[in-house]
């Protein structure tokens, strides 16, 4: 095996094209070894093997600096930069993250996981090099799907201003996570169809030099192109056409399903573990499909992650003009939702908690100042959600709930979630966000309220005394367990409350609690700083009520074990009881 | 006067070109009347008079819908849609805002004030029209400067997907607020130089149809172009070349100074009131110029508002490669600052509190996850700052301070501000943001600390008893006045504390206060929700200390009178004293 001799990029410099070709095949076997057993981004990594080898063959990392966009395609880069064990040896799978990570290697410059950031980050490296009078190449590697993001477009527009060495490799596999959306993809097609010679050229229109590689899986062609731009004195795009999932037929055939994939049998491509039972993705899709059929003003919107709310290709086709995939363009999506809602449409825009972070100003300016009655569905907004440092769902409460005019709702079970969603779509007074539950599909026999228009009315679900528990959203079930334990330990059943509204206080109810309670416990599935509990603490700050706030510490956690994080934050019923009643 | 007969767009439909030309002159006299006496956006409004007349002549507002980007150029639109008194009659100046406003007129669809939003908002109106099976034109009007913003670029990219009537008027006056920055402006120049015929065309590259008007101040040419695209069945750009400040020589000559202008003498163009004394813009520029000369790794960055930190054209030229105007591209600016800082440069990026809202995800992902030691200067972050609903500076504390790893500092006077800025530039461990004071330039004789690397150490500036006042940043002077009043009223001098750090608690000091204090008052210049005081309330929630939090209510306020807002929020020393000691 050639790979045995490769421990750093220097080890491939003397290889000839046949050896590099053989190396590519070996790398794919390493990728297959990890991906089939652990899961991960399949298509992006299989598609960029040759390009990554060629980059490391031509350039001199880390003196020459690569910045991978999203960096979900960086596996070959990791293999070539001293981290091959994490792909070839199951015992070392845990050694690396799925993204670039400066803590792992001097060849990685940033922790990256969000899309569309590479060009701007790399511009910074180039500018710093120039300020210090240093030399070396700076290379951003960005996929076609990521180009539609505002930050990427701003970066591409600015890059021309650098006026010095800067290389942008556009890895065009004609796919985003699902199919691409946006006018620029017509231009990429025109460039592909003309072997890069079309006069109308997005990159040239942004002031950048340009070169095209028709087969981005051809090592010789890639090496020639990268060699030609190495040490260039001005910003240049190298547009390479690659095949997503290259080298594995199921992934080449069904690109969307194989963008990210669960562990599977390499022989058959069949997923090893099939998730059973209900999930909010499918349930949400089913609800929205029905709703859209009944009312043509309802429109479902996503930003490049359609299947996360169940919209498979088939469902998207069925929904037709009532389904919008804005591509990776969340800012546009929120503003467009505001426009639709303002003029009588009923938009429902869903994406991940972590991706709503790209829309703060649109939430504030386009949506909330205008009080446009759009519905936002906030997905994986929870400590139970995604565990990578770049995809945490624990910051949306401080980010969103402090924006005026927004009504942010936290359902505690399936029936309440759909009741809130139904109310939100039908009302025309408020911008409303709903946190999709993330701790499993809990059902209830009790009918959920259907009208949420009298804002900030909390719901007492168990009347008790002395202690009141405000258990928000996903932590309601924790609140139930805690209530039971407190009753057992103290002999007095506490009051249990479902606050429902993240964005406001039920001052009447909170005042009323003062009569026969001395302790209030808040539970929220997110960081405490800027969150829900602190508002309760402020409310009671001038009274004798003691307030204990439970939630997560303000910190970026990475690839965490759920149980560890819950324990570290005292988020088990036993720990909370001990904290509060230790002296009793 | 023709204008006397114009009360709605219908009143200009029968006019011939001579009458419309005369009307344009009359409108400019109305603009001059308001702008010379009240101030406002001069250049954008003088430049777009003819285009606005032509739009209202050709299209049928409000059935056809205009969305103006930023909407600072909407004065002629207001004059033609029933609001002319606000321009011709000083008694009615206060009737209208400086931006579009649905509360004023059915011809306005959104409250807008931030840049780069028009295309996406208008896409929403078009989509809603299509969903409902209605007809009518939707027209976004966007300036060349706004094109570089991520939201605008996302919207332009998406627009091609609409596949129905949609018109984007690109008002190209070859200027942003200052000069434009970004590669796309080379393409706009190429289009202007070739009368719109250049094959490489940014708009066509984004999938849009395109047409060019060489003289965008020529009514006949505009009417012809708009008539040609009226009722088009697909998205189309009409690129018009206008002259910023057209019709007033000083504004045509010095476009940057006349983008927004204070009241002035129309005869001479001289500003009526010249602000005397020190200001943080000039002081900051002076400091940074010196710093950059001493260290070539230091680089000052802005996003299209250079003069707000004193960087006039002359200073920008002097700073050379150490000054970056990213154009309207804050997302890119923050990410690029992270890249610069990560590789040994020392970037200082300054913009307004309200414009930092466009960078939440870049602050979180690009900057703070990577702990890049960049410096951010947050300008007009205060109730004393800008008073328009779209430019409020009272939300940055909840937005920014709850992001992990960021150190957000609130200086209380001039010396402390520059000490913090100096420390931030020289340290290499933290991303640091500094709130530029906004309540006047206060000086102190006491030397400011020079080292802020031991985080979250609050400073006791007056030792007292019973009551402790935590007076953050701009509200420190309020704290001083309050401390004096409390001492007078109660006979006991309170403790006064300068917290300095917005992003963390000095737990040792807060614990220590418990010994001889029973009341803590927090003062912060921003909304209370998600802010600083609530963290103090949470800290003391389980103790006997009473916490009173003072700051602003979570709401969007518009064109407010400062005194009214302060009173409504009980932000005078007398009100606070009354609240707390009423029973004593």
The string of pLDDT tens digits covering residues A115-170 is 999 999 999 999 999 999 999 999 999 999 999 999 999 999 999 999 999 999 99
d(CA A293, CA A239): 42
Chain B CB within 8 Å of residue A529 CB = yes
SS3 (DSSP) at A260 = strand
SS3 (DSSP) at B470 = strand
Quote the minimal CA–CA distance from B320 to chain A in Å: 11
pLDDT at A1 (0 to 100): 82
pLDDT at A256 (0 to 100): 93
- Confidence band, pLDDT 50/70/90 cuts, at residue B583: low
pLDDT tens track for A330-344:
999 999 999 999 999
pLDDT over 90, % of chain B: 97
pLDDT tens track for A470-491:
999 999 999 999 999 999 999 9
Interchain CB distance below 8 Å, A547 and B541? yes
Q: How many CA atoms lie within 13 A of A386 on its CB side?
A: 18
Let me know how long chain B is: 584
Quote the minimal CA–CA distance from A122 to chain B in Å: 6
Chain B CB within 8 Å of residue A583 CB = no
d(CA A473, CA A412): 5
Give the pLDDT mean for B130-153.
Answer: 98
Q: Which CATH class is domain B15-249?
A: alpha beta
Give the pLDDT mean for A108-118.
Answer: 98
Give the pLDDT mean for A249-264.
Answer: 95
Interchain CB distance below 8 Å, A538 and B533? yes
Which of the residue ranges A114-128, B206-220, B570-584 would you say has the lowest mean pLDDT?
B570-584
B113: left (phi over 0), alpha (psi -120 to 50) or beta: alpha
Which residues are bridge partners to A346 per DSSP?
Answer: A298
Q: How many CA atoms lie within 13 A of A76 on its CB side?
A: 28
Tell me if A181 sits within 8 A of A325, measured CB to CB.
Answer: yes
Q: Judging by DSSP bridges, how do beta strands A495-498 and A459-462 pair with one another?
A: antiparallel
Question: Is residue B331 over pLDDT 80?
Answer: yes
Question: Is residue B1 over pLDDT 90?
Answer: no
d(CA B554, CA A405): 9
Question: Contacts of residue B394 in chain A, CB cutoff 8 Å?
Answer: none
Question: Contacts of residue B339 in chain A, CB cutoff 8 Å?
Answer: 67, 109-110, 120-128
Sheet with A323-325, strands from edge to edge, namely: A323-325, A298-302, A346-352, A375-379, A432-435, A407-409
Give yes or no on whether B15-249 and B280-435 have one common fold. yes
pLDDT tens track for B78-105:
999 999 999 999 999 999 999 999 999 9
Quote the minimal CA–CA distance from B147 to chain A in Å: 9
Q: How many CA atoms lie within 13 A of B489 on its CB side?
A: 20
Cα Rg for chain B, rounded, in angstroms? Answer: 26
Q: Which of A150, A183, A345 sits opposite B150 (nearest CB)?
A: A150
- Confidence band, pLDDT 50/70/90 cuts, at residue B178: confident
CATH number assigned to the domain covering A459-581: 3.40.50.920
Chain B CB within 8 Å of residue A530 CB = yes
Interchain CB distance below 8 Å, B401 and A529? yes
- As for the ipTM of the complex, it is 0.98
Interchain CB distance below 8 Å, A155 and B332? yes
- What is the per-residue DSSP string for A166-193? EEEEEEE-S-SSSS--STHHHHHHHHHH
pLDDT at B85 (0 to 100): 98
d(CA A57, CA A15): 9
**A555 to chain B: nearest residue by CA?**
B404
Q: Which of B357, B370, B537 sits opposite A541 (nearest CB)?
A: B537
- Confidence band, pLDDT 50/70/90 cuts, at residue A508: very high
Interchain CB distance below 8 Å, B208 and A533? no
Q: Which of B205, B365, B540 sits opposite A117 (nearest CB)?
A: B365
Tell me if A395 sits within 8 A of B402, measured CB to CB.
Answer: yes
Give the pLDDT mean for B333-349.
Answer: 98
Tell me if B308 sits within 8 A of B349, measured CB to CB.
Answer: no
- Confidence band, pLDDT 50/70/90 cuts, at residue B582: confident
d(CA A578, CA A119): 50
Question: Contacts of residue B135 in chain A, CB cutoff 8 Å?
Answer: none
What is the SS3 string spanning A386-402? CCCHHHCCCCHHHHHHC
Interchain CB distance below 8 Å, A160 and B151? no
**Exposed (0-12), middle (13-18) or buried (19+): which is B13, by Cβ within 10 Å?**
exposed
Chain A residues 389-408 within an 8 A CB cutoff of chain B: 389-390, 395, 398-399, 401-405
* Residue from B97, B180, B197, B205 whose CB has the most chain A CBs within 10 Å, to mutate: B205
Question: Is residue A583 over pLDDT 60?
Answer: no
d(CA A198, CA A206): 15
Quote the minimal CA–CA distance from B54 to chain A in Å: 24
Interchain CB distance below 8 Å, A342 and B125? yes
Chain B residues 71-130 within an 8 A CB cutoff of chain A: 102, 109-114, 117, 120-130
Q: Judging by DSSP bridges, how do beta strands A260-261 and A235-241 pair with one another?
A: unpaired
Where in A266-390 does DSSP place strands (E)?
Answer: 298-302, 323-325, 346-352, 375-379
Question: Which of A248, A271, A250 has its CA nearest to residue A28?
Answer: A248
* Average pLDDT score over chain A: 97
Tell me if A545 sits within 8 A of B537, measured CB to CB.
Answer: no
Q: Which of A157, A202, A345 sits opposite B182 (nearest CB)?
A: A157
pLDDT at A565 (0 to 100): 98
Interchain CB distance below 8 Å, B329 and A129? no
Alpha helices by DSSP H, listed for A276-329, are 280-294, 313-319
Quote the minimal CA–CA distance from B198 to chain A in Å: 9
> ∠ CA(B127), CA(B131), CA(B133), 5° rounding?
115
Chain B CB within 8 Å of residue A187 CB = yes
Structural fold of domain A284-435: Rossmann fold (3.40.50)
Interchain CB distance below 8 Å, A402 and B527? yes
d(CA A70, CA A50): 19
Question: Which of A78, A96, A68 has its CA nearest to residue A7?
Answer: A78
d(CA B171, CA B155): 16
Chain A CB within 8 Å of residue B436 CB = no
Q: Judging by DSSP bridges, how do beta strands B459-462 and B466-471 pair with one another?
A: unpaired
Give the pLDDT mean for B156-162.
Answer: 97
d(CA A334, CA A336): 5
The residue ranges of every structural domain in chain B are: 15-249, 280-435, 459-581
CATH classification for the domain delimited by B280-435, as one of 3.40.50.880, 3.40.50.970, 3.40.50.300, 3.90.76.10 = 3.40.50.970
- What is the per-residue DSSP string for A476-507? HHHHHHHHHHHHHHHSSPPEEEE--BSS---H
pLDDT tens track for A401-453:
999 999 999 999 999 999 999 999 999 999 999 999 999 999 999 999 999 99
Interchain CB distance below 8 Å, B357 and A365? yes
Tell me if B111 sits within 8 A of B102, measured CB to CB.
Answer: yes
Question: Is residue B584 over pLDDT 60?
Answer: no
pLDDT at B418 (0 to 100): 98
d(CA B136, CA B393): 38
Question: Is residue A252 over pLDDT 80?
Answer: yes
CATH superfamily of A2-251: Thiamin diphosphate (ThDP)-binding fold, Pyr/PP domains (3.40.50.970)
d(CA B543, CA A546): 7
> ∠ CA(A554), CA(A557), CA(A562), 5° rounding?
105
pLDDT over 70, % of chain A: 100
SS3 (DSSP) at B322 = helix
**At residue A412, what are phi and psi to the nearest 5 degrees?**
-110, -5
């Amino acid at each position: 095996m050639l790979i045995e001799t490769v421990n750093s990029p220097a080890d491939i410099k003397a290889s000839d094209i046949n050896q590099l070709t053989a190396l590519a095949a070996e790398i794919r076997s390493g990728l297959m070894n990890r991906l089939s057993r652990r899961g991960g981004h399949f298509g992006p990594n299989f598609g960029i093997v040759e390009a990554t080898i060629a980059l490391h063959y031509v350039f001199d990392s880390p003196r020459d600096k690569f910045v991978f966009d999203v960096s979900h395609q960086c596996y070959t880069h990791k293999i070539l930069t001293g981290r091959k064990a994490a792909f070839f040896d199951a015992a070392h799978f845990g050694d690396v993250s799925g993204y670039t990570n400066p803590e792992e290697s001097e060849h990685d410059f940033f922790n990256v996981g969000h899309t569309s950031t590479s060009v701007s980050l790399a511009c910074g490296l180039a500018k710093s090099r120039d300020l210090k009078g240093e030399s070396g190449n700076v290379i951003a590697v960005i996929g076609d799907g990521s180009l539609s993001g505002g930050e990427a477009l701003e970066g591409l527009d600015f890059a021309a201003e650098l006026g010095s060495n800067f290389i942008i490799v556009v890895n065009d596999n004609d796919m985003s996570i699902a199919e691409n959306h946006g006018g620029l993809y017509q231009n990429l097609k025109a460039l592909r169809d003309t072997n890069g010679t079309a006069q109308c050229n997005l990159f040239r229109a942004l002031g950048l030099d340009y070169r095209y590689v028709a087969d981005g899986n051809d090592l010789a062609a890639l090496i020639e192109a990268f060699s030609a731009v190495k040490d260039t004195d001005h910003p240049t795009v190298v547009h390479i056409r690659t095949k997503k999932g290259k080298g594995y037929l199921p992934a080449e055939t069904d690109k969307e399903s194989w963008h990210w994939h669960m562990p599977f049998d390499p022989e058959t491509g069949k997923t090893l573990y099939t998730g059973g039972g209900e999930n909010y993705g499918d349930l949400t899709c089913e609800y929205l499909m029905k709703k859209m059929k009944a009312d043509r003003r309802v429109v479902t919107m996503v930003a490049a992650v359609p299947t996360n709310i169940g919209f498979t290709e088939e469902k998207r086709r069925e929904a037709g003009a009532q389904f919008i995939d804005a591509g990776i363009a969340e800012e546009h999506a929120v503003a467009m939702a505001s426009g639709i809602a303002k003029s009588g449409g009923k938009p429902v825009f869903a994406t991940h908690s972590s991706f709503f972070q790209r829309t703060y100003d649109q939430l504030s300016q386009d949506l909330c100042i205008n009080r446009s009655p759009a519905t936002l569905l906030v997905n994986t907004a929870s400590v139970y959600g995604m565990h990578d440092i770049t995809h945490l769902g624990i910051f949306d409460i401080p980010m969103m709930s402090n924006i005026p005019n927004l009504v942010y709702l936290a359902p505690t079970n399936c029936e309440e979630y759909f009741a809130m969603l139904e109310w939100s779509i039908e009302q025309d007074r408020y911008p409303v966000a709903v946190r999709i539950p993330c701790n499993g599909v809990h059902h209830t026999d009790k009918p959920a309220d259907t009208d949420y228009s009298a804002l900030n009315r909390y719901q007492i679900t168990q009347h008790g005394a002395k202690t009141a528990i405000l258990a928000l959203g996903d932590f309601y079930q924790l609140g139930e367990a805690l209530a039971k334990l407190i009753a057992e330990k103290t002999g007095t059943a506490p009051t249990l409350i479902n606050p429902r509204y993240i964005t406001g206080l039920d001052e009447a109810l909170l005042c009323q609690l003062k009569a026969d309670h001395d302790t209030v416990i808040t539970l929220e599935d997110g960081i405490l700083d800027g969150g829900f509990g602190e508002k309760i603490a402020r409310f009671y700050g001038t009274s004798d009520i003691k307030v204990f706030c439970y939630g997560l510490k303000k910190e970026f956690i990475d690839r965490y074990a759920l149980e560890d994080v819950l324990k570290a934050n005292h988020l088990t019923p036993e720990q909370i009881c001990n904290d509060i009643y230790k002296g009793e």
